[in-house]
Chain A
């Protein structure tokens, strides 16, 4: 894995900070309790940091305040019922949660949704990505003291949520994906509205680039802060934009076979060599803009035809095991579904992205300064429901 010069220097700096902690005059250790109710935690995540002066010597992450036991609950539900449940894992991009589970079930049942359904699925997948990450892009500014971006984010995300609501009936929890297809077709006039909304989101991305990217304070607080070397990130299971910001050119949409139609679109996987907070922000911003362009292409190429394959009325999934994963807004999300031929699954392992993205935090926070805890957490971008499934 290629390591850039800046990545290497930042890593050495972190190591040096570590060493300095051991050598410098010992001060009285202080415990700082961050959370569980903190705006930067997107829910209830608690971090207990041991401080030596202004530097963190040890950070423990305590989660589970919102654990809902989905892996147990899905064992007593039928496949269509599970769809409503897993909507609530990453609640900002609910539709993207449904897709890998449905794909795993379809894989076991050996049914495939018709092309139009796959195109609409891909479209809603990218719309959820936009709805999710626009919020992050604005919210990162708040953690650094810039209030305006988050108002822009809520203003423009509304247009995307309206689109999702018009087509599915639910703003946050569409529950739109079905085994073998989709619940409904698109409503009339939706396509032109979507084009307008995508144009607006691109404008928002440009605005944010102007507002934040060149800002001296923003750069000072994020450049070289929270550097994750690519190999460390991968061994912790970091995925999505977090690992692409460390220079790993890996995107499941491009690299794995999928019934969804990303391969038929013209798009680019964005990476950044630095691996710091700034890189993570930058990659997400580019991905949002790329997603709007993908939605435009999907609207132009939308095929006609049915949206639902023929499936039995009572869904029974043949015995077997299947693994389906997709590149969700937060990273790789996968479902390991074990079926023993019943109406519901025997066991489902939910591999959610934030869980693994946050598991690196104890390693990453060692030696950083207190104000950087918030920017690092914020730049890793997690949704609590995605950690506590």
Chain B
């Protein structure tokens, strides 16, 4: 699933007619950003571009010059594997497709699911590749050309830090504050990097994968309620 193409090289997915504009856009970006592009991916009419972290603001500036006038969003991804939802737990609750003929199962469906990738303990990065645990992702869009681009950049594991986009796109202000409190990324040059949603004294970064969700610690899976015995039939443990 991950790919790290050389800049301007052939994209990973099969080229369809609908992706022509995306290929042209990628070429355009490559001429402007040069070797700052370290990965790209085109799928279903969408373009992903991964840039070097030190070129993060330059990428925004070039995109703005290319007519990407609309700031869509900015956020982060923590690629640390997580184990929920655990397929084994759910399969005990949900009857198998064979049990009932109500809905025919897809013949291509995997009856015995392969071991969950996320439990293997290795970081699996998404489109356009990645070398680190943390990534920042943003999307820009041109309201004239009607084309959008996702930009990604790798962040350092120990001290995730990247330059702020506020000077280029003022809409990044709140998004960076949210990403700061949720992931603990430091946006250098942000005029007012304080928490947006969380109370000031809140500790920890909730959207990091190693931040425990208390509800799931107490009850591993809410669906398990369904297999508990009713009080009348419950004979006790002894």
Contact = CB atoms under 8 A, between A and B. Distances in A.
Contacts of B87: 342-343
Interface in A286-320: 310-314, 316, 319-320
Contacts of A360: 171
Main secondary structure of the interface of B (DSSP, over half): loop
A323 B103 CA distance: 29
A323 B48 CA distance: 11
A194 to B, nearest CB: 29
B118 interface: yes
Of A73, A343, A356, most B-chain CB atoms within 10 Å: A343
Contacts of A319: 1, 117, 124
Contact of B46 (A77, A231, A323): A323
B116 A310 contact: no
Interface string B80-123: 00101101001100101100000111100110011011100000
A256 B146 contact: yes
B213 interface: yes
A72 B173 contact: no
A248 interface: yes
Given A64-B197, A107-B44, A349-B137, A76 B85 contact: yes
A52 interface: no
A338 B106 CA distance: 23
Of A67, A347, A356, most B-chain CB atoms within 10 Å: A347
Interface in A67-101: 67, 69, 71-73, 75-78
A37 B113 CA distance: 50
A320 B43 contact: yes
B82 A75 contact: yes
Contact of B44 (A1, A78, A322): A322
Contacts of A237: 70-73, 169, 171
A344 B87 CA distance: 9
B116 A342 contact: yes
B73 A236 contact: no
Contacts, number: 147
A64 B196 contact: yes
A39 interface: no
A336 B1 contact: no
Contacts of B139: 323, 334, 336, 351
Contacts of A73: 213
A75 B210 CA distance: 12
Contact of A313 (B82, B85, B103): B103
Interface string A230-259: 011011110100010000101000011100
A388 interface: yes
Contact of A250 (B84, B143, B215): B143
B207 A72 contact: yes
Contact of B94 (A107, A236, A314): A314
B90 A343 contact: yes
A310 B71 contact: no
A347 B77 contact: yes
Contact of B84 (A63, A332, A344, A359): A344
Given A77-B85, A236-B171, A355-B174, 6 more contacts: A64-B198, A248-B143, A255-B146, A314-B90, A341-B117, A349-B73
20 contacts: A63-B197, A75-B82, A76-B215, A235-B170, A235-B171, A236-B171, A243-B143, A313-B97, A313-B103, A314-B94, A316-B110, A316-B113, A320-B1, A334-B139, A349-B73, A355-B174, A356-B73, A359-B174, A360-B171, A363-B170
Would you list the 3 A-B pairs with minimal beta carbon distance, nearest first? Answer: A64-B197, A237-B171, A312-B109
Interface of B: 1, 18, 43-46, 48, 69-73, 75, 77-78, 82, 84-85, 87, 90-91, 94, 96-97, 103-106, 109-110, 113-114, 116-118, 124, 126-127, 137, 139, 143, 146, 148, 150, 169-171, 173-174, 182, 195-199, 206-207, 211, 213, 215-216
Interface of A: 1, 63-64, 67, 69, 71-73, 75-78, 107, 231-232, 234-237, 239, 243, 248, 250, 255-257, 310-314, 316, 319-323, 332, 334, 336, 338, 340-344, 346-347, 349, 351, 355-356, 359-360, 363, 388
